[in-house]
Amino acid sequence: MSERTSFDVLIIGAGQAGIPLAHALAKAGKRVGLTEREHLGGSCVNFGCTPTKAVISSARMVHQARRAAGFGLRIPMIEVDFPAVLERAKRILMESRDGLGAGLADSDNPKLLRGHAKIAGREGEKFCVRINDEMVTAAQLVLDTGTRSLIPPIEGLADVDFIHSENWLEKSDLPKHLAIIGGGYIGLEMGQFYRRMGSRVTIIEESDQIAGREDEDVAQALQGLLETDGVEFQLHSNVKRVASLNSGLVLTIEGSDGPHQFGATHVFVATGRQPNTDALGLETVGVRVSGSGIVEVNERLETSLQGIWAAGDIRGGPMFTHTSWDDYRVLMSQLTGDGSHTTDRIVPYAIFTDPELGRVGSTERESRTAGKRFKVGRYEMRKNGKAREQGDTAGFVFIFIQPWLRLYRAFCWICHKGIAVRLPLFYSRIG
Ligand X SMILES: Cc1cc2nc3c(=O)[nH]c(=O)nc-3n(C[C@H](O)[C@H](O)[C@H](O)COP(=O)(O)OP(=O)(O)OC[C@H]3O[C@@H](n4cnc5c(N)ncnc54)[C@H](O)[C@@H]3O)c2cc1C
353 binds ligand X (CB under 6 A): no
**Residue 56 CB, nearest approach to ligand X (Å):** 9
For the range 165-174, what are the long-range contacts, defined as Cβ-Cβ under 8 Å and sequence gap of 24 or more? 165/43, 165/47, 165/48, 165/270, 166/47, 167/47, 168/47, 168/268, 169/47, 169/51, 169/86, 169/89, 169/90, 171/266, 172/82, 172/83, 172/86, 173/82, 174/80, 174/82, 174/198, 174/199
When asked if residue 12 is in the footprint of ligand X (CB under 6 A), the reply is yes
Q: Which of 30, 36, 219, 271 binds ligand X (CB under 6 A)?
A: 36
362 near ligand X, rule: CB under 6 A:
no
The length of the chain in residues reads 431
User: Sign of the C-alpha dihedral, residues 382, 386, 388, 392?
Assistant: negative
CB atoms within 10 A of CB 289: 20
Tell me if 236 contacts ligand X by CB under 6 A.
no
CB of residue 157 to ligand X, shortest distance in Å: 18
> Please, are residues 350 and 420 in contact by the beta-carbon 8 Å criterion?
no
Q: Could you tell me where the DSSP H helices lie in 105-154?
A: none
**Chosen residue from 89, 154, 163, 186 binding ligand X by CB under 6 A:** 186
Question: Which residue in the set 31, 37, 126, 164 belongs to the binding site for ligand X (CB under 6 A)?
Answer: 37
The verdict on 58 binding ligand X (CB under 6 A) reads no
- The whole-angstrom separation of Cα 20 and Cα 11 is 11
Q: Report which of 151, 219, 228 is spatially closest to residue 192, judged by C-alpha positions.
A: 228
Nearer to ligand X, 90 or 116 (CB): 116
Shorter beta-carbon distance to ligand X: residue 146 or 191 = 146
Contact pick of 11, 22, 32, 52 for ligand X (by CB under 6 A): 52
Could you tell me the smallest distance in angstroms from the CB atom of residue 300 to ligand X? 17
35 interacts with ligand X by CB under 6 A: yes
Which residue in 7, 9, 10, 13 binds ligand X (CB under 6 A)? 13
Q: Please give the residues from 250 up to 289 whose contact with ligand X meets the rule CB under 6 A.
A: 276, 280
Task: Say whether residue 330 binds ligand X (CB under 6 A).
Answer: no
Rg (CA), the chain: 23
The answer to whether residue 144 forms part of the interface with ligand X (CB under 6 A) is: yes
Residue 313 in contact with ligand X, rule: CB under 6 A: yes
38 touches ligand X by CB under 6 A: yes
| 24 binds ligand X, rule: CB under 6 A | no
Beta strand pairing status for 425-429 and 248-255?
A: unpaired
> Which one among 179, 201, 222, 319 touches ligand X, defined by CB under 6 A?
319
Tell me how far apart the alpha carbons of residues 36 and 39 are, in angstroms, rounded to a whole number. 7
CA distances from 219 to 184, 316, 369, 430 (A): 10, 23, 18, 18
Residue 15 · residue 26 · CB < 8 Å: no
Return the residue of 117, 136, 226, 360 that touches ligand X, per CB under 6 A: 117
Which H or E element spans position 42? helix 42-46
Q: Which of 140, 192, 223, 321 binds ligand X (CB under 6 A)?
A: 321
Q: Which stretch binds ligand X (CB under 6 A): 139-147, 212-220, 258-266, 361-369?
A: 139-147
Residue 146 main-chain phi, psi, to 5 deg:
65, -160
Roughly how many angstroms between the first and final C-alpha of the chain, as a whole number? Answer: 60
Of 188 and 225, nearer to ligand X (C-beta) is: 188
Q: CB under 6 A: which stretch of 85-93, 213-221, 286-294, 318-326 binds ligand X?
A: 318-326
Whole-angstrom distance, CA of residue 280 vs CA of residue 268? 28
Site of interaction with ligand X (CB under 6 A): 12-17, 35-38, 42-44, 48-49, 52-53, 116-117, 144-146, 165, 186, 276, 280, 312-313, 319-322, 324, 352
